[in-house]
DNA sequence: GTCTATATTGTGATAGAC
DNA sequence: GTCTATCACAATATAGAC
């Protein structure tokens, strides 16, 4: 685990990328692995190959790094998912949206995992701002769900809010176990999660012949 | 938030429950809210209404509390879910198992949330033991999924392992947003999650008339 | 932009009286 | 079983030279 972190740091260091640009991604990897509160500026400096004090030429506080990671995560995913949603959605669009979300969270895994699990380490002011952004993302999904219900694409026996939360449940816990390079790649994972959300896990025959359309 | 913690502490304190028995539940609530690494023995002592040093009459280290919480969480849920699984499963049994899991994690929310998210704070030895217990729980679920696939109850286009992970995705992220006393109670949540896992979120008409059986 | 050296605070944990 | 007092150390962050 430490090997993964240090080798990653070595790569960007060897590539001549400036320290200021390496801080966020190196911190995201560190915070994801050890948690924000348990990650020290010592460790971060060591991963970056500089002394602890040199960090403070680039940042003002450790919390500022967490804040930047959360903002980067949310602006990225809001942008990516917004692009994938047309004015009027179809079931195929839902599938595309789900696959985009999965591709984004596993493709920029460190940033999203830290945003999703370490948000409480933010100062009150930053927390308010980040929660507002997260709420904006959830509203984006909820609106798509709501429209899909009105169009008869999604079931409407539960409020859009709860269908949205079910969907994010299904997608987001993935950050805790998915490892790139395993026997299921990111694209297959997206297909699986989209299919389980839309069609469920029951065998087709118990649900009728239309399964898989 | 701090109010919720302190009033809870006051209640058990007023009821005359011994400190030694209050430490685990009070710690679970604290660790859940602030994270294990950010929770201090000072705060814990304050919630218990004793001095920091008095804690060490009951425990040897702070990490020992985390270990006890993880063990309690896993033995509880393994026990609860084992009880709900018959030798040969039906779709109804799957539904019951899912509802039991949901009832258990939201009913003993602090313990399970801490186990699920703070495990990395354990010492290496304790981590090995706790991960083994967690793996045992996941195997329990995976075996039920595998048997259901063989019986034609669950789809078999993906390995049981991944269907199990989808299910735990869907159920476990709930710890981050479910609050008892909201407009969806624990039982309704269990029904929703079981139904979304088994039948999916698509409108019935797109899947055929058997939906809901 | 990085360094050495240090300030300051907070942490988990212990000693020993009552 | 709880207390007061304290230890030893690790944390974030700063000062000022190069």
Residue A210's pLDDT is: 54
pLDDT-derived band at A102, boundaries 50, 70, 90: very high
Rounded distance in angstroms from the CA atom of residue A66 to the C1' atom of nucleotide C2: 23
Q: Does A124 touch chain B (CB under 8 A)?
A: no
Containing A164, the helix (H) or strand (E) segment is helix A160-172
Cβ distance B142 to B160 under 8 Å? yes
Express each pLDDT in B85-125 by its tens digit: 999 999 999 999 999 999 999 999 999 999 999 999 999 99
The answer to whether B61 CB is within 7 Å of strand C is: yes
Q: Is A79 exposed, middle or buried (0-12, 13-18, 19+ CB in 10 A)?
A: exposed
The answer to whether domain B2-57 and domain B62-206 are alike in fold is no
Query: Region B163-190: what's the mean pLDDT?
Result: 98
- Please count the other Cβ atoms lying within 10 Å of the Cβ belonging to residue A87: 5
Express each pLDDT in A41-71 by its tens digit: 999 999 999 999 999 999 999 999 999 999 9
Residue B210 has pLDDT above 60, yes or no: no
Q: In whole angstroms, what is the distance from residue A31 CA to residue A116 CA?
A: 12
Q: Does A155 touch chain B (CB under 8 A)?
A: yes
Cβ distance B94 to A200 under 8 Å? no
Residue B50's pLDDT is: 98
Instruction: Say which nucleotide is closest to residue A50, CA to C1' distance.
Output: C2
B18 to chain A, minimum CA–CA distance in Å?
Answer: 31
Residue B206 has pLDDT above 80, yes or no: no
Cβ distance A161 to A138 under 8 Å? no
The answer to whether B123 CB is within 7 Å of strand C is: no
Q: Does B207 touch chain A (CB under 8 A)?
A: yes
Chain A contact probe: residue of B157, B196, B211 with most A CBs at under 10 A: B196
The answer to whether B42 CB is within 7 Å of strand C is: yes
Q: Does B150 touch chain A (CB under 8 A)?
A: no
A194 to chain B, minimum CA–CA distance in Å?
Answer: 10
Beta bridge mates, A7:
none
Rounded distance in angstroms from the CA atom of residue B3 to the C1' atom of nucleotide C4: 46
**Which whole-number Å values give the CA distances from A5 to A43, A46, A48, A109, B134, in the listed order?**
10, 11, 10, 14, 26
Q: In whole angstroms, what is the distance from residue A89 CA to residue B76 CA?
A: 43
SS percent in chain A: helix, strand, coil, step 5: 75, 0, 25
Class of domain B62-206: mainly alpha
* Interfacial A residues in 21-60 facing B (CB < 8 Å): 34-35, 37-38
Residue A16's pLDDT is: 86
Asked if the A2-57 domain carries CATH number 1.20.120, the reply is no
DSSP state of A175: G
Residue B208 has pLDDT above 70, yes or no: no
Tokens at residue B81, please?
Answer: 């879910």
The more confident residue out of B211 and B45 is B45
Residue A212 has pLDDT above 90, yes or no: no
Length of chain A: 213
**Searching chain B, which residue's CA lies closest to the CA of residue A155?**
B203
Task: Break chain B into its structural domains and give their ranges.
Answer: 2-57, 62-206
């Amino acid at each position: 685990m430490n090997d993964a972190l240090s080798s990653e740091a070595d790569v960007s260091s060897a590539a001549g990328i400036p320290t200021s640009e390496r801080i966020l991604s190196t911190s995201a990897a560190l915070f994801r692995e050890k948690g924000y509160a348990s990650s020290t500026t010592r460790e971060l400096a060591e991963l970056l190959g500089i002394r602890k004090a040199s960090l403070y030429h680039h940042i003002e506080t450790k919390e500022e790094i967490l804040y930047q990671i959360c903002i980067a995560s949310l602006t990225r995913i809001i942008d990516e998912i917004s692009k994938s949603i047309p004015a009027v959605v179809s079931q195929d669009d839902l599938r595309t949206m789900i696959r985009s979300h999965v591709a984004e969270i596993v493709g920029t895994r460190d940033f999203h995992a830290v945003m999703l699990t370490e948000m409480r380490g933010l100062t009150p002011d930053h927390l308010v701002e980040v929660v507002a952004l997260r709420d904006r993302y959830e509203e984006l999904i909820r609106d798509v769900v709501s429209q899909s219900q009105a169009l008869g694409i999604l079931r409407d026996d539960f409020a859009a809010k709860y269908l949205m939360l079910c969907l994010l449940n299904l997608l987001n816990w993935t950050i805790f176990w998915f490892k790139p390079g395993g026997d299921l790649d990111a694209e297959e994972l997206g297909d699986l999660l989209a299919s389980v959300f839309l069609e469920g896990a029951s065998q087709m025959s118990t649900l009728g012949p239309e399964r898989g359309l």
